[in-house]
A and B are shown apart, each in its own frame.
Chain A
Amino acid sequence: MRFRTVLFALIILSGLAETGRPAPERSPSNLEQNNRVRFKITAVELQGAGREVLSDSLIEGPPGVDFAIKLQSKHFRMNASFLTELTGDRLMIRADLETKRLLGMSERNLPIYEEDQQRHSFDLTLDEQLNILPFGGKDDLNQLRIEIIPSRGESESPPPSTKPRPLFIKILKQASEGLINIAAFKRPHHFNFEAELTEDGHAIARTGGALLLDDQQEFAFSPSEGGGQHPGTMAVAFRVDRFISAREGDEAVVGFDLYRVGAASGVREALASNWAGVCRLDEPFSYDVTSEYGGTPGRKYELRFVVRLAQ
Chain B
Amino acid sequence: MQQCEMLEYISALIDGELPAEEVQRVRQHLAECLECRSAHEDFLGTRQILRAHHPVRDAQLQQRARQKLFAKERERPWSQPISIPLPVAAVLALLFLIMAAALVRDQHSNFRAAHSAIIEKALPTSGDGEEEKMSLAAFDHGGRAVVYKSPQGEGAEQKR
Contacts and interface: CB of A to CB of B under 8 A. Distances in A.
Interface of A: 1-4, 6-7, 9-10, 13-14, 16-17, 19-23, 25, 44-47, 49-52, 55, 57, 61, 71-76, 78, 80, 95, 97, 99, 101, 116, 118, 120, 122, 124, 127-138, 140, 142-145, 149, 163-164, 166-169, 171, 174-187, 243, 245
B143 A186 contact: no
Contact of A133 (B106, B146, B153, B158): B146
Contact of B145 (A4, A17, A135, A174): A135
Given A136-B144, A183-B120, A128 B149 contact: yes
A177 B141 contact: no
B145 A97 contact: yes
The 8 nearest A-B residue pairs measured at CB: A136-B143, A178-B125, A20-B103, A50-B160, A13-B96, A20-B104, A183-B120, A73-B133
A129 B155 CA distance: 12
Given A75-B137, A178-B125, A19 B152 contact: no
Interface string B106-150: 110010011111111111111001101111111111111111111
A18 to B, nearest CB: 8
Nearest to B98: A17
A142 B137 CA distance: 11
B81 A3 contact: yes
Nearest to B105: A20
Contacts of A16: 96-97, 100
B149 A179 contact: no
Contacts of A124: 149
A129 B154 contact: yes
Contact of A3 (B77, B118, B139, B158): B77
Contact of B147 (A23, A61, A120): A120
B127 to A, nearest CB: 9
Interface of B: 77-84, 86, 89, 92-93, 96-97, 99-104, 106-107, 110, 113-126, 129-130, 132-156, 158-160
B80 to A, nearest CB: 6
A180 B120 CA distance: 11
Given A50-B160, A140-B143, A185-B117, A174 B82 contact: no
Contact of B78 (A3, A14, A136, A166): A3
A47 B118 CA distance: 35
A25 to B, nearest CB: 7
Nearest to A134: B145
Contacts of A180: 122-123
Nearest to B84: A1
Contacts of A138: 146, 148
Nearest to B152: A129
